[in-house]
Amino acid sequence: MWLKPEEILLKNAFKLWVTEKDNEYFILQRRRGYGEGGGGLTGLLVGTLDTVLDSTSKVAPYRILHHTPDSQIYWSIACGVTKEEIVQHWEWLQQNIMRTLSVFDSSEDITSFVQGKIRGLIAEEGKSSLVLEDDPEKFREALLRFEKWFELPPEEKLVTYYSCSNWKGKVPCQGWLYLSTNFLCFYSYLLGAEVKLVISWDEIWRLEKTSNVFLTESIHVLAHGEDHYFSMLLHLNETFVIMEQLADYSIKRLFDKEAFQKEPMLHDPLQITKRGLEAHAKSEQFRTFFRLPKEENLLEVHESFLWVPFSHFNTLGKICLSENYLCFASQDGSQCHVIIPMREVVNVEKSDSGSRALTVCVRGKRALRFSEVRDYQRLANSIRSRCGISASPLHSASSEAIRGECQSLINHFEDNPEDVTLMVGQKGSAKAVSTEALMTVFHPQDMENLDPKMLKEKMKEQSWNIHFSEYGRGTSMFFTKKTRDLIVRGVPEALRGELWMLFSGAVNDMATHPGYYTELVEQSLGTSTLATDEIERDLHRSLPEHPAFQSDTGISALRRVLTAYAYRNPKIGYCQAMNILTSVLLLYAKEEEAFWLLVAVCERMLPDYFNRRIIGALVDQAVFEDLIRENLPQLVEHMTDLSFFSSVSLSWFLTLFISVLPIESAVNVVDCFFYDGIKAILQLGLAVLDYNMDALISCHDDAEAVTILNRFFDSVTNKDSPLPPTVQQASLGTNDKASHFGVDISELIREAYEKYGHLRSEEVESSRKRNKLYVIQTLEDTTKQNVIRVVSQEVRFTASQLDELYYLFKRQHFLSCYWTMNSPALLHHDPSLAYLEQYQLGFQQFSTLFFLLEPWAFCPVKSTLSLWVFRLIDENQDGLINFKEFCCALDTLYGGSFTNKLKFLFKLHLPPAFELPEDGVIKKSPERGRGKVDLQAYLKQWQNEILKKEETIKDLPRINQAQFIQFSKTLYNIFHGDPEEESLYRAVAHVTSLLLRMEEVGRKLQEPTSPPPSSKAAPTSTEASPADDNTTSPDSTDTSSSHTSQDTPGSEQSEVEWSFSFEQVIASLLNEPAIVSFFERHVDINIKLGQAKAAQLKLKIQK
């Protein structure tokens, strides 16, 4: 590898380098301790030194230096892993450089010329390289070490690398951590002890930052049941973020495709970079905090002060700019943030350069003034370009009018902040099917009613109106501590829908997609799918006690929203609990608004909740368990198994407490959820357990604990609710539970915020990522156990052998996905399918794995014979092999009887296995992997399996001439390389000859007259060929057969064809002891499994 010329002091290197070749201008050297005469104490010390100091010499022990006769300075210009590589560089220098150097007069010119040439070579190499790093030279050296040490396929993309220590017990190994797209790798070499660690990201169960007595701070990785700790990292937080991103990327791409498909930035595994991952992490955090659509990416960040009119001071924070939004978040503890959609911006004004300020004017006579912005001109231009505002001084009259209006507004804004008229959010911009919230239809507010509850409701509305006058209303409202305080006290019924839309970000989705919902409703109208069937079944189970859902109005609106969403997102379709949530949304929001609220909940606020595996809910339950351990130690001491709380709390998370609380109380919880996200649900869950702490500690079993919690939820009331008794849910069995005092929901929520409000959203998101790995790996392990349990009933392999086979099978599936964007195996992977169908191999993957595991090495990779094996065991002919089909084939070859093994080989040469497609490509099932599940087909397949009779040898069809010739070839291939190869070949030749004679005699007995001479010649020539040449005899047989068929008249062709039954073949083979002993010989699959595990990745490299 050519190196960027770097100055070397040779006198310090005499003890470490040995000169192999030299001339007037160049020296070729070998590192002491490598190559001939290497090893010994010198080799150990030099190797250790190279690893610790990150020397290129550890992996490239050869180098070329440039020097001039009258200079003491040497320049390193090339290094090499092997002597052949460095000699190539040396010869290139001799042929292309040496002749030119004699032309120069001065040594400075010679050195400049050589350096220029080397830099040019490096630049040429860099054009085709995917490396786009801050320090390309260092990265090239690291990439060289990475490729040499770990021998991964050349497609594997190194993302970054760090110096660190890996702890084994209490002993650290100093080395280098390499993070690539699919693998975490570590290398250390200390005093002859070489440590190599290669872990694929999809095998990691835990990834977290930890600290203990020995390590102040380290990164803990759990994989294959082993703990690995990495410490002494210079940038530990940066390293952890990159590792977290790579693990999450791998999990999404390989296990959770639904979440991955909307990540275009990370789609190509060959284009992943450290810079890209860091940008993706920041964008993800940005979107989560401001509740923005997934299409938004963080483009610019500027520190600035924002003038806050209600506080009369400038607050320090950061301006975050994306494609369609300008956001600001304070950093001074005021918890103030604001979101400005670009569509609302009408102008951007810059002040004098001294204050470095700019003013953003938005619709509704509103302005925001940012000051002390370092790069304010660039920010102003960015906002203008995204809003389509011209920065030219030649404005039209209307533009000048706008500018004048904005300036007067700014002056008034600064002088009289309390009189500012603030923007009101626009409504009704898009047509909806139903334009009223169900609560206004079924429970209109009586403005003249002056009972205490209605008076309190009016006071709440007045509090919010005052808040709107101070902080703004609509999309550009300021979010502050006071906003949260009002939320905790309860949102008035009349404002609930509007505030839900605002806090969730759904208001922006609806504004940017006018008419989208109406189109969806029209397109989905009348469709019949599995989702629509489930929706119809659950419609009347959605808040059945509420009058709105006892009429066709509410039921029809619920049907339209759920069907439209299932049509929009078929990956989720419909999941139970969506009906309950949507029912509550429809009570307080218009139909189109309820649809966009459902989109916000399912796709942003509760990711992966509403799918077949409810991964998101399981992850948040794991987060909840962690919080219980941290905040409720007394409960943990009494109930060591916290999985009870996971099972109990599942409905809390899936329905946001709607299914366990009365509706008038549950909506207060939903208020907090839309403002604070999942943090509000976690806080309330902790508060519920804390409230019932004494009762839970004294209970004796899980059933008693469930009863305690159910009684508590039934006792929760909303004293301020203005809803009439016909709308409120009655607490069932109140007489039995009189011992419980009524708990007001507002008090419970306030207590949750007071005790557990210290939880930060960033910590919750970090805990989600950490637990997601464990949850998915647990689900994968459950899948494996179920598959092994099913398959173990069909085969003779032990549980440990099946475990190893499953690991290899699944790994082969992933190896086909690591370096490609659209791998067929990845496209067909669907976690929602039956356990056996989740991981399947196409022909390419199957042939590689079968080659590693077959007992006789008769089936090379991608050979025609491997294709026949694939077609034989692919029972449903869908072009994919599941684990059960694969294991049954191996079980026959390893543990089957002599008859079963021969029957397997015999069937390889019968249709459908023996019939090759014209283009040699296996055709895939059109339905597989496209989101459709044909239940009728599954039922029919299950019925066929139940009714399937045991196949007997008499059921097998006869094998014809061409098939028998190929069968003989297969036997020769199987015996090739065996110690008894010669005797086995003779046995096959004898069996072939015997069968042909038997066929000839049988045909003579059946025919009334003698056959023509040509028909006699055919079997004679065919008969002799297997015995003449053992390895190529089938080919010569095939040639003689074709020659005979050409000489035979067409009318007599049918008389020449001959065939054998399986009984004839097996009877003839049983007469040959050599063949019988070969097939009955025991082959240890454990040895094969070990070899396959070591060779699986290397075979991928060779390919």
Model confidence pLDDT, tens digit, residues 146-163: 888 888 888 888 999 998
Question: 864 pLDDT exceeds 70?
Answer: yes
In this predicted structure, what is the pLDDT of residue 264?
54
Query: Radius of gyration (Cα) for the chain, nearest Å?
Result: 38
Model confidence pLDDT, tens digit, residues 465-521: 999 988 888 888 999 999 999 999 889 988 999 999 999 999 999 999 999 999 999
> Is residue 729 left, alpha or beta, with left meaning phi > 0 and alpha meaning psi from -120 to 50?
beta
pLDDT confidence bin for 581, thresholds 50/70/90? very high
Strands, DSSP E only, in 38-114?
A: 62-66, 74-80
Mean pLDDT confidence for 392-421: 45
Question: 11 pLDDT exceeds 80?
Answer: no
Which is nearest to 470 in space by CA: 416, 422, 410? 422
In this predicted structure, what is the pLDDT of residue 449?
61
Mean pLDDT confidence for 426-436: 48
Lowest mean pLDDT among 109-118, 351-360, 885-894, 1089-1098: 351-360
Mean pLDDT confidence for 251-271: 64
Model confidence pLDDT, tens digit, residues 669-722: 999 999 999 999 999 999 999 999 999 888 888 888 899 999 999 999 988 777
- Better-predicted residue by pLDDT, 41 or 652: 652
Sheet containing 171-180: give its strands across: 193-200, 183-190, 171-180, 158-168, 226-231, 218-223, 204-210
Question: 905 pLDDT exceeds 60?
Answer: yes
- CA-CA distance, 1085 to 879, in Å (whole number)? 26
In this predicted structure, what is the pLDDT of residue 645?
82
CA 68 vs CA 3, 102, 440: distances in Å: 18, 12, 92
Mean pLDDT of the chain: 79
Which is nearest to 289 in space by CA: 760, 617, 669? 760
560 close to 521: Cβ distance less than 8 angstroms: yes
494 close to 461: Cβ distance less than 8 angstroms: yes
> Is residue 686 left, alpha or beta, with left meaning phi > 0 and alpha meaning psi from -120 to 50?
alpha
pLDDT confidence bin for 50, thresholds 50/70/90? low
Question: How many CA atoms lie within 13 Å of 413's alpha carbon, on the beta-carbon side?
Answer: 21
Model confidence pLDDT, tens digit, residues 944-998: 655 555 566 667 888 888 888 888 888 888 888 888 889 999 999 999 888 888 8
Percent of the chain with pLDDT over 90: 27
Question: 90 pLDDT exceeds 70?
Answer: yes
Mean pLDDT confidence for 129-154: 73
CA 427 vs CA 435, 443, 476, 791: distances in Å: 11, 22, 14, 59
Mean pLDDT confidence for 316-326: 92
Angle between helical axes of 761-792 and 799-815 (0-180°, round to 10): 120
Mean pLDDT confidence for 313-340: 88
Question: 442 pLDDT exceeds 80?
Answer: no
Question: 940 pLDDT exceeds 60?
Answer: yes
472 close to 479: Cβ distance less than 8 angstroms: no
Which is nearest to 873 in space by CA: 850, 895, 853? 850
Model confidence pLDDT, tens digit, residues 804-822: 999 999 988 888 777 776 6
- Better-predicted residue by pLDDT, 674 or 940: 674
In this predicted structure, what is the pLDDT of residue 213?
62
In this predicted structure, what is the pLDDT of residue 832?
61
In this predicted structure, what is the pLDDT of residue 920?
41
User: Which residues partner with 306 through β-bridges?
Assistant: 315, 370
Cα-flanking dihedrals φ and ψ of residue 235, to 5°?
-120, 75
- CA-CA distance, 273 to 946, in Å (whole number)? 52
503 close to 674: Cβ distance less than 8 angstroms: yes
pLDDT confidence bin for 52, thresholds 50/70/90? low
In this predicted structure, what is the pLDDT of residue 737?
40
Find all residues with CB under 8 Å of 237, minimum gap 6, and list them.
none
pLDDT confidence bin for 278, thresholds 50/70/90? confident
In this predicted structure, what is the pLDDT of residue 1097?
78
Question: How many CA atoms lie within 13 Å of 1000's alpha carbon, on the beta-carbon side?
Answer: 16
- CA-CA distance, 1014 to 1048, in Å (whole number)? 6
In this predicted structure, what is the pLDDT of residue 1029?
39
Residue 952 buriedness (CB in 10 A; 0-12 / 13-18 / 19+): exposed
- Better-predicted residue by pLDDT, 180 or 409: 180
Model confidence pLDDT, tens digit, residues 1024-1078: 333 333 333 333 333 333 343 344 344 444 445 678 888 889 999 999 999 999 9
In this predicted structure, what is the pLDDT of residue 426?
33
Question: 69 pLDDT exceeds 90?
Answer: no
31 close to 83: Cβ distance less than 8 angstroms: no
Q: How far is CA 1071 from the centre of its chain?
A: 57
Which is nearest to 34 in space by CA: 11, 16, 22? 16
Mean pLDDT confidence for 782-798: 92
768 close to 623: Cβ distance less than 8 angstroms: yes
- CA-CA distance, 781 to 786, in Å (whole number)? 9
Question: 412 pLDDT exceeds 50?
Answer: no
- Better-predicted residue by pLDDT, 89 or 452: 89
Lowest mean pLDDT among 178-187, 490-499, 535-544, 731-740: 731-740
357 close to 371: Cβ distance less than 8 angstroms: yes
